[in-house]
């Protein structure tokens, strides 16, 4: 029997550590046969704190990923790792140095500047509140106010996609499509380039809906989850999308991030 391969990763940051964590995760998903153990150390702003963390990393033979911006902290970690034969990835210093050399500008060396409470932050909060207010077609008035309108039958990721896009500062409203329900007149007042019709593979949708029913402790074999009903719903949606003239996106086998990127790239400039 093959022994499972393991790897310990330390993610160290003098801010929240999201950049380093995302960087590490983007790489580790390429190795499905390795079990990765993450240790995150955010808001690490002194060498005394770093010393203890690095000693632990040495004991566990960890791979150290850091996005330290504070002067001296990055070089401290890099030197320690090199002297103690630890693998290290400096995710920030080289980029900052290159920009400094290219522009001639002196960096601020302030950690967490991308999390400052600037106007973009408040716009994002407003967008999140908008997405919640106009989720599931609660108020048709939101369609004309929205930057993006998502249409789709049940379980085509409308709500999580709305919240993800809201985090990108887009005001998003979504409408669940039910063949026997009417379509709000406001939909026809929206620029079709801002409307996106979500669809899915009937078999995948069937599995998703069955699992949802099971989660609620209900019978999975209902009209809601039947292939015949799903195909009718998808046909109704496809016909509506054609009438509107909006972009259609099949979300089957796509992550929320992939679908969101398609939408953002397709918006009128």
**Is beta strand 34-41 parallel, antiparallel or unpaired with respect to 5-12?**
parallel
Chain center to CA of 27: 16
Cα dihedral 98→114→76→21 (10° resolution): -100
Distances in Å between the alpha carbon of 144 and those of 46, 48, 137, 252?
A: 50, 55, 12, 28
CA distance 77 to 57: 11
> How many residues can be counted in the chain?
269
Q: Which two tokens stand for residue 139?
A: 């108020």
CA distance 163 to 199: 18
Give the residue ranges of the annotated binding site: 152-159
φ/ψ of 207, rounded to 5, equals: -65, -40
Give the residue ranges of the annotated binding site for ADP: 152-159
CA distance 40 to 57: 11
């Amino acid at each position: 029997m093959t022994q499972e391969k393991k790897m310990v990763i330390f993610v160290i940051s003098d801010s929240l550590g999201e950049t380093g964590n995302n960087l590490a995760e983007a790489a580790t998903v390429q190795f499905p046969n390795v079990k990765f153990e993450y240790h995150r150390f955010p808001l690490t702003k002194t060498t005394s704190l770093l010393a203890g963390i690095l000693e632990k990393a040495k004991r566990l033979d960890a791979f150290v990923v850091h996005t330290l911006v504070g002067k001296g902290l990055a070089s401290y970690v890099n030197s320690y790792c090199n002297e103690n034969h630890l693998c290290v990835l400096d995710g920030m210093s080289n980029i900052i140095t290159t920009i400094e050399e290219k522009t001639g500008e002196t960096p601020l060396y302030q950690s967490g500047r991308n999390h400052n409470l600037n106007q973009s932050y408040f716009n994002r909060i407003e967008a999140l509140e908008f997405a919640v207010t106009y989720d599931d077609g609660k108020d048709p008035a939101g369609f004309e106010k929205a930057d993006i309108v998502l249409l789709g039958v049940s379980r085509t990721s409308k709500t999580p996609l709305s919240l993800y896009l809201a985090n990108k500062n887009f005001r998003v409203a979504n409408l669940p499509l039910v063949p026997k329900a009417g379509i709000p007149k406001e939909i026809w007042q929206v620029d079709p380039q801002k409307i996106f019709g979500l669809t899915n593979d009937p078999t995948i949708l069937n599995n998703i809906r069955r699992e949802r029913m099971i989660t609620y402790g209900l019978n999975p074999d209902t009209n809601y989850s039947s292939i015949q009903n799903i195909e009718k719903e998808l046909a109704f949606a496809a016909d509506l999308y054609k009438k509107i003239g909006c972009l259609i996106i099949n979300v089957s086998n796509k992550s929320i991030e992939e679908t969101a990127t398609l939408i953002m790239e397709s918006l009128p400039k």
